[in-house]
Amino acid sequence: MINQELIYPTIAIIFGLTLCKLLFSRLTHGPPDYFRLSGVPAPTPLNEFDITKAKARPYRPFRWEYHQNMSLKKMEPDWWIELESTYCERIAQRKQLYADRGKAIIDAMPGSEQACKELMEMVIQFLCTRYPSQFQVDWRSGLFQNRILGTRSNLGAVDPLKFLLDHVPEDFLVTQQDEKTGLYVLRAAVSCSAVGWRLQEKMGRSLHEIHEPVPDYKTKMQFSMERYFSRLPCDKPIQRGSWALEIGQPLYSQPGDPHFDCRGTQLPELDVKDIYLRVDWQTLRRLPVSRAIVFNFKAFFTPTTDFRNEPYIPKLLAKVLREGKKSLLEYKSTFHIEHRMLPALDLWAGEQEEKGWVPKGWKERTLDEDPYFPGWNKL
């Protein structure tokens, strides 16, 4: 007969030894191999990568028919975090935003510490694998080197969210499951790219509360999003793109800012050369240890004049702006640029038909190359 008085002490000893082994392994070898733990393959190293010449992929996530849905795509392991030639400028901008605004940029709730540390370690492993000439880490000493910026960081002393702000031109929103409701709640964030919303108003709120301003979210997306979060496996991260048309390149803009408040006005002096496509390319993935779900995204800006040389894009976007659902276009605030953008798009679409790039009478639809356009990888 089993002596139950011996069972619990034995279990405690085994658990203690296992925990000590894990702690010793971390101290001597660093964090676990998150590629193996998550099931997401390590990225292909870019050994000849030159940050000054790196171009962002030309995301054009325009769809027709245009309606509100998640529009999810499988994440490509090489492209979780994409660096390009604006890197130094963007990092400097992020640091200044934090210096000026503090908790409006970085904030965290109690209980999110381990998830934030795990996220930082996963990002470091990705950076050092994908860009081996630009980033190196010595886990024994806790030293991280950023050769692009010429900086060193002591990982034992740095705040994980501040580390992400200082080295990665991405925003990270960390959600964790509430034990009482089962809903995922925003618990920590680095948010430098907010346009029209404030981090402090979103902290501690559930997904449906965060997305309350989004048209059709409650009726068409809330149930599927909450179910998706509860079931999301570590080895199946997804990506999607959100777009807007902006005057200039505002990374961070809030109601009350002069730039934001001009969205209700069609400036007669506006030049189409000053209108930019902003794409927030977003990733959603579960962390393998803490089981938190992280939403990260980066803002890419492209002059809309580039559309002139991108087959199908002018005609497709003109269709969206003219015939898209009113509530969605109001949410995107397209009114302030339409008086200049639509005539330009019509002109470029006509030119593309004359050149034979687009068949005359082509019926607008989501492109097979979505979120890109035909020939994008040959430019």
Domains of the chain, by residue range, sit at 1-30, 34-47+68-301
pLDDT the model gives residue 8: 44
Residue 353 CB neighbour total at 10 angstroms: 15
Helix axes 87-101, 160-167, angle to 10 degrees: 140
pLDDT the model gives residue 196: 83
pLDDT the model gives residue 3: 52
**AA letter at 10:** T
pLDDT the model gives residue 18: 41
Among 205, 220, 127, smallest CA distance to 173 is for: 205
pTM for this one? 0.88
Q: How many Å apart are CA 152 and CA 144, to the nearest integer?
A: 6
Collect all residues with Cβ–Cβ distance below 8 Å to 88 and sequence separation of at least 6: 51, 148, 149
Which tokens hold the place of 52? 């000054």
Is residue 203 within 8 Å of 186, Cβ to Cβ? yes
Residues of the chain with confidence (pLDDT) below 70: 1-29, 67-71, 211-225
The pLDDT tens digits of the residues spanning 52-105 come to: 999 999 999 999 987 655 568 899 999 999 999 999 999 999 999 999 999 999
Is residue 172 within 8 Å of 160, Cβ to Cβ? no
Listing DSSP states for 289-331 in one string gives: TT--EEEEEEEEEEEGGGGGGSTTHHHHHHHHHHHS-HHHHHH
pLDDT the model gives residue 261: 80
pLDDT the model gives residue 16: 47
pLDDT the model gives residue 5: 53
Q: How many Å apart are CA 59 and CA 347, to the nearest integer?
A: 22
Of all helices (H) and strands (E), which one includes residue 269? none
238-247/275-286 β-pairing: antiparallel
